[in-house]
Amino acid sequence: MTRLTVNGAAKHVDAEPDMPLLWVLRDELGLTGTKFGCGIAYCGACTVEIDGVAARSCVMPLSALEGKSIRTIEGEPDAVVRALQAAWVAHQVPQCGYCQSGMILAAASLLRSKPVPTDADIDAGVSNICRCGTYQRIRAAIHAAAQSLREAKA
């Protein structure tokens, strides 16, 4: 039995220790917002936050997560995620939408660590792949969300 906190709720998961977090979330907990993409931690469709840091859930074994706090796209959005969601809509970022849950959580992790990111910071911190190629809109939306968060604090 592995104890986790998922989206603020305590969970006890009875699964194989080597089961990737992605499948724990989807198959054991019914949280299907986290997507399978490549299975080798490259594309980022499976990105979640673990203790506030973006992580690729497809390669993260359950055994490494005892006592950790996990946020998926289904979690109650905090101010950072809300700002990103609003910017995503305003900048018409989604096309097919498949990568968006992982993309938003990667961007949220970036904005928590770098509230005023440069283009280079965004490129390095949000390495998720968007098959639709909306990278310019993604970057613009992250900058807009960062600006919105700064204005909200002022």
**SS3 for 127?**
coil
Polymer length of the chain = 154
User: Residue 120 phi/psi, 5° resolution?
Assistant: -65, -40
- Check the CA dihedral 151-76-47-141 and report its sign: negative
- C-beta neighbour count of 18 within 10 angstroms: 9
- Out of 47, 71, 95, a domain closes at 71
Q: What is the dihedral of CA 73, 50, 7, 44, to 10 degrees?
A: 20
- Out of 71, 97, 122, a domain closes at 71
Looking up residue 116, the CATH number of its domain turns out to be 1.10.150.120
| pTM for the model | 0.95
Mean pLDDT, 10 residues at a time, the chain of 154 residues: 96 96 98 97 97 97 96 97 98 92 97 97 96 95 98 92
